[in-house]
Amino acid sequence: MKTLYLECNMGAAGDMLTAALLELCPDKKEAFLEKMNSLGLNGVEVRAEESEKCGIKGTHISVSVGGVEEESLDVHEHHHDHEHGHCHDHEHGHEHSHEHDHEHEHSHDHDHEHEHDHEHEHSHDHEHHHDHEHDHGHGHGHSHSHSGLSDIEGIIGSLDIPQKVKKDALGVYRLIAEAEAHAHGKPITEVHFHEVGTADAIADIVGACLLMYEINPEKVICSPIHVGSGNVRCAHGVLPVPAPATAYILRDVPTYGGDVKGELCTPTGAALLKYFARGFGPQPVMKVGAIGYGMGKKDFERANCVRAMVGESDEEAGEIVELACNLDDMTPEDIAFACETFFENGALDVYTVAASMKKSRYGVLLTCMCKKADRDKMVRLMFEHTGTLGIREYTCKRYTLERAFDEGETPYGKVRVKRSFGFGCQKEKPEYEDLAAIARKEKLPLAKVRKLIK
pLDDT of residue 238: 83
Tell me the pLDDT band of 272, cut-offs 50, 70 and 90.
very high
- Comparing CA positions, the residue from 406, 428, 2 lying closest to residue 215 is 2
pLDDT of residue 368: 97
Between CA 318 and CA 12 the distance in angstroms is 32
**83 phi/psi in degrees, rounded to 5:** -85, 95
pLDDT of residue 137: 34
- % the chain with pLDDT above 90: 43
Q: How far is CA 103 from CA 99, 194, 236, in A?
A: 12, 11, 11
| 79: three-class secondary structure by DSSP | helix
Between CA 3 and CA 217 the distance in angstroms is 6
Tell me the pLDDT band of 316, cut-offs 50, 70 and 90.
low
User: Which residues are within 8 A (CB) of 422 and not within 5 positions of it... i.e. 6 or more apart?
Assistant: 1, 218, 219, 315, 400, 401, 402
- Total count of residues recorded for the chain: 454
| 233: three-class secondary structure by DSSP | strand
Q: Residue 361, class by beta-carbon neighbours within 10 Å (0-12 exposed, 13-18 middle, 19+ buried)? A: exposed
pLDDT digits (tens, 9 = 90+) for 341-384: 999 999 999 999 999 988 888 899 999 999 998 999 999 999 99
pLDDT(448) > 70: yes
- Comparing CA positions, the residue from 94, 30, 16 lying closest to residue 58 is 16
pLDDT digits (tens, 9 = 90+) for 167-219: 999 999 999 999 988 888 888 887 776 544 577 888 999 999 999 999 999 88
Q: To the nearest whole number, what is the mean pLDDT of the chain?
A: 80
pLDDT of residue 120: 36
Bond preceding residue 242 cis, omega within 30 of 0: yes
Between CA 90 and CA 92 the distance in angstroms is 6
User: Which residues are within 8 A (CB) of 179 and not within 5 positions of it... i.e. 6 or more apart?
Assistant: 244, 245, 246, 248, 249, 267, 271
Between CA 136 and CA 119 the distance in angstroms is 18
pLDDT of residue 46: 93
pLDDT of residue 237: 75
pLDDT digits (tens, 9 = 90+) for 120-167: 333 333 333 333 333 333 433 334 455 788 888 899 999 999 999 999
Q: Residue 91, class by beta-carbon neighbours within 10 Å (0-12 exposed, 13-18 middle, 19+ buried)? A: middle
pLDDT of residue 52: 85
pLDDT of residue 185: 87
pLDDT of residue 75: 55
Q: Please tell me which residue, 47 or 133, carries the higher pLDDT value.
A: 47
Between CA 386 and CA 361 the distance in angstroms is 17
pLDDT digits (tens, 9 = 90+) for 67-110: 766 665 565 554 333 333 333 333 333 334 444 443 333 333 43
Mean pLDDT to the nearest integer, 254-267: 87
Q: Please tell me which residue, 123 or 284, carries the higher pLDDT value.
A: 284
- What one-character-per-residue DSSP string does 140-200 give? TTS---EEEHHHHHHHHHHSSS-HHHHHHHHHHHHHHHHHHHHHHT--GGG-EEEHHHHHH
